[in-house]
């Protein structure tokens, strides 16, 4: 299941709410309590994007330090 999406929805609707899971089921990211291929792909994309963003920040910080 897309962990980042679950965290966002639980923050919005509350930890004890069933709405986050209903939303993920309706969007096709989960089927019942099992993640779908679509949900796993969304999580993989999110993880990849986060890693890319972190590398870009680290690269920028290293090169700013070299200039000063």
The whole-number mean pLDDT for each consecutive block of 10 residues of the chain, a chain of 68 residues, reads: 90 94 94 93 94 88 71
Looking at residue 2, its pLDDT comes to: 87
User: Alpha helix locations (H) across the chain?
Assistant: 3-13, 19-27, 37-67
> Measured between alpha carbons, how far is 51 from 57 in angstroms, rounded to an integer?
10
Looking at residue 61, its pLDDT comes to: 82
């Amino acid at each position: 299941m897309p962990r980042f999406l679950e965290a966002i929805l639980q923050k919005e609707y509350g930890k004890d709410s069933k709405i986050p899971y209903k939303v993920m089921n309706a969007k096709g990211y989960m089927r019942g309590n099992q993640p779908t291929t679509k949900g796993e792909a969304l999580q993989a994309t999110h993880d990849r994007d986060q890693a890319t963003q972190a590398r870009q920040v680290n690269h920028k910080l290293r090169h700013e330090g070299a200039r000063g």
